[in-house]
Amino acid sequence: MMSSTSKAYLVGGGIGSLAAAAFLVRDGGMPGSNISILEAGPIMGGSLDGSGDAERGYSMRGGRMLTTDNYECTWELFKSIPSLAKPGLTVFEETLAFNEVHVSHARARLVDARRAKVPVASMGFSMHDRLELLKLSSADESTLGTTRITDHLSPAFFETEFWFMWATTFAFQPWHSAVEFRRYLHRFMLEFSRIETLAGVKRTVLNQYDSLVVPLQRWLESQGVRLITDCTVTDLDHHTVDGRFAVTGLHCTLKGRSETMLLGDGDLVFVQNGSMTDASSLGSMSEAPAKRTRAPNGAWTLWEKLADGRPSFGRPAVFNSCVAQSNWASFTVTLKDTAFFDQMQRFSGNEAGTGGLDTFKDSNWLMSIVLAHQPHFANQPADVQVFWGYGLFPDRVGNFVAKPMADCSGAEILQELCGHLRFDLDVMASANCIPCRMPYITSMFMPRAPGDRPPPVPPGTRNFAFISQFVEVPLDTVFTVEFSVRAAQIAVYELLGLDRKVPPVTPHDHSFHARFEALLKAIK
């Protein structure tokens, strides 16, 4: 049992662990100084990154969309975290106020090969598409099993405007899990009816590292939480107490040296098993990102060791065995003159920060870009602009560059982008484009069966939990910040035996069938 001297060790420094540390302090009353977060990388935040400066160029692997109709645990947490930029406000209040002023209303959500903005008021469904979608959304997860989206929807569905918008908003591929696709339809039902404008999407004031990770990290530091970087946990010592798995020690490589941390009775361990950004790599204007595969001591290794011979700890191989089905590429562009933003804002009809996503639906790479409100980085000078983009098919040869996106330098990606927009390459004269390859970015969407993901606190464990995108959390959807924060809250409340409720997943799909059917009828 936990006592006043109990310590907590969090393996991995992603938003899941940072959130867990905050719940341990805020709700569990654990002194911050008893909590250590051990992160393999040089900074905290994991996949929720954003770094750089105007000279070297900015880089972020992702640009995240959030909502306030969902993300219950995330906002409940950030209602307790003070804003750094707006003293007196919480991060939640600061974000809400920002979104009241900067409202998403995409006017160029899809752009076709003729450079025409595709009318998207119609989703492009046939009656057949509607019936198939209704059937898939009504099916039980147990019936869907490990099937893929293509097992339920006919080829024509993947040509509808709906699919292009849904797939590029949430990064689904036709071969991904039917169970997860169905969960998204239910969880983000409100987005279904406004997917063409992305009106429900909420943005953070700056990139998510500056706006979410940094304030949370500062609050944890002020509570005395120990944030330890360059520390890879390579193995756990454990024994069995009362028939239950109990961790007794951690082996790690701390700044290049092997260390062992011994646990006392009542100490707790939380492990981030797997990561969507494991083995990701950055390129430059002149070089494509290196094609890395799983790092020997990367985010999957510890989970693989722990799950070996222990079925209740899940099956990592279900998620990390096929890079061809789980990879895509993104890029971040730093500009020192306004030519590109000026032309893009004129073309799209959206001021930066109001457009959501612009997708080039006929592009071989299925390329999209997002012009966020500026500045997008805390240290961004006023005369610098930054935007982010991605391609869901980096293995295909481009339309304007005769190379797969995965083999392209930043300069070549900009050439492809200008090709689709029919912009002279001069608009990129000052640009620094940093491409990023992410081999496991949609590994969470791989078809899965019950048991492939362990629950946050696996049965038969005593002082141990998993916090990640690879745990089973009923009703919630992966590839979201919310999923990791929810997993953290569940894990902390359960291990501490707290008599507090984790905020439930909001039932926007209440009487789902009636509402969904009505929506499908209403939507042409």
468 scored as a contact of ligand FAD (CB under 6 A): yes
Candidate list 104, 168, 272, 489; residue touching ligand FAD; CB under 6 A: 272
Candidate list 34, 104, 232, 385; residue touching ligand FAD; CB under 6 A: 232
480 scored as a contact of ligand FAD (CB under 6 A): yes
* % helix, strand, coil for the chain, step of 5: 35, 20, 50
Q: Which stretch binds ligand FAD (CB under 6 A): 45-53, 83-91, 319-327, 490-498?
A: 45-53
16 scored as a contact of ligand FAD (CB under 6 A): yes
276 scored as a contact of ligand FAD (CB under 6 A): yes
Helices (H), strands (E): how many in the chain? 17, 17
Instruction: Select 51 or 484, whichever has its Cβ closest to ligand FAD.
Output: 484
Q: Which residues contact 227 (CB under 8 A, 6 or more apart)?
A: 13, 37, 39, 44, 217, 220, 221
Number of residues near ligand FAD (by CB under 6 A): 34
DSSP class of 504:
P
Beta strands in 198-307 (DSSP E): 226-228, 231-241, 244-254, 257-262, 268-271, 281-282
Window 98 to 157, contacts with ligand FAD (CB under 6 A): none
282 scored as a contact of ligand FAD (CB under 6 A): no
Minimum distance from residue 39 beta carbon to ligand FAD (Å)? 5
Q: Which stretch binds ligand FAD (CB under 6 A): 2-10, 37-45, 95-103, 501-509?
A: 37-45
Determine the Cα–Cα distance for residues 9 and 132; give it in Å rounded to an integer: 47
Q: Which stretch binds ligand FAD (CB under 6 A): 6-14, 146-154, 349-357, 418-426?
A: 6-14
40 scored as a contact of ligand FAD (CB under 6 A): yes
Question: Could you tell me the two tokens for 203?
Answer: 């943005």
Q: Which residues contact 517 (CB under 8 A, 6 or more apart)?
A: 134
Window 505 to 524, contacts with ligand FAD (CB under 6 A): none
11 scored as a contact of ligand FAD (CB under 6 A): yes
Instruction: Select 160 or 208, whichever has its Cβ closest to ligand FAD.
Output: 208
Q: Which stretch binds ligand FAD (CB under 6 A): 44-52, 106-114, 125-133, 420-428?
A: 44-52
Q: Write phi, then psi, for 126 (nearest 5 degrees).
A: -90, 170
Q: How buried is residue 240: exposed, middle or buried, by Cβ count under 10 Å (0-12/13-18/19+)?
A: exposed
48 scored as a contact of ligand FAD (CB under 6 A): yes
Instruction: Select 417 or 485, whichever has its Cβ closest to ligand FAD.
Output: 485
Question: Could you tell me the two tokens for 256?
Answer: 């290049």
Cis peptide bond prior to 289, omega within 30° of 0: no
Pairing mode of beta strands 35-38, 8-11: parallel
41 scored as a contact of ligand FAD (CB under 6 A): yes
What angle separates helix 127-138 from helix 178-187, to the nearest 10 degrees?
A: 90
320 scored as a contact of ligand FAD (CB under 6 A): no
Minimum distance from residue 370 beta carbon to ligand FAD (Å)? 10
Nearest to 17 by CA among 453, 477, 487: 487
Q: Which stretch binds ligand FAD (CB under 6 A): 111-119, 146-154, 407-415, 473-481?
A: 473-481
Minimum distance from residue 94 beta carbon to ligand FAD (Å)? 18
Residue found by looking up tokens 């992702």 in the block: 62
471 scored as a contact of ligand FAD (CB under 6 A): no
447 scored as a contact of ligand FAD (CB under 6 A): no
What b/e readout covers 375-387, taking b as 16+ CB neighbours within 10 angstroms?
bbbeebeeebbbb
66 scored as a contact of ligand FAD (CB under 6 A): yes
- Cβ contact 366:382 at 8 Å: no
65 scored as a contact of ligand FAD (CB under 6 A): yes
72 scored as a contact of ligand FAD (CB under 6 A): no
299 scored as a contact of ligand FAD (CB under 6 A): yes
Q: Which stretch binds ligand FAD (CB under 6 A): 39-47, 174-182, 307-315, 422-430?
A: 39-47
Instruction: Select 427 or 477, whichever has its Cβ closest to ligand FAD.
Output: 477
Nearest to 357 by CA among 150, 23, 105, 116: 105
Determine the Cα–Cα distance for residues 286 and 293; give it in Å rounded to an integer: 22
DSSP 21-68: HHHHHHTT---GGGEEEE-SSSSSBTTS--EEETTTEEE-S----B-S
Instruction: Select 12 or 455, whichever has its Cβ closest to ligand FAD.
Output: 12
List residues bridging with 434 in a β-sheet. 332
Minimum distance from residue 12 beta carbon to ligand FAD (Å)? 3
Instruction: Select 408 or 491, whichever has its Cβ closest to ligand FAD.
Output: 491
38 scored as a contact of ligand FAD (CB under 6 A): yes
User: What is the identity of the amino acid at 290?
Assistant: A
217 scored as a contact of ligand FAD (CB under 6 A): no
Instruction: Select 292 or 336, whichever has its Cβ closest to ligand FAD.
Output: 292
Minimum distance from residue 426 beta carbon to ligand FAD (Å)? 29
On the CB side of 214, CA atoms within 13 Å amount to 16
Residue found by looking up tokens 């011994």 in the block: 262
Q: Which residues bind ligand FAD (CB under 6 A)?
A: 11-16, 38-41, 46-48, 61-62, 64-66, 232-233, 272, 275-277, 299, 302, 330, 441, 468-469, 479-481, 484
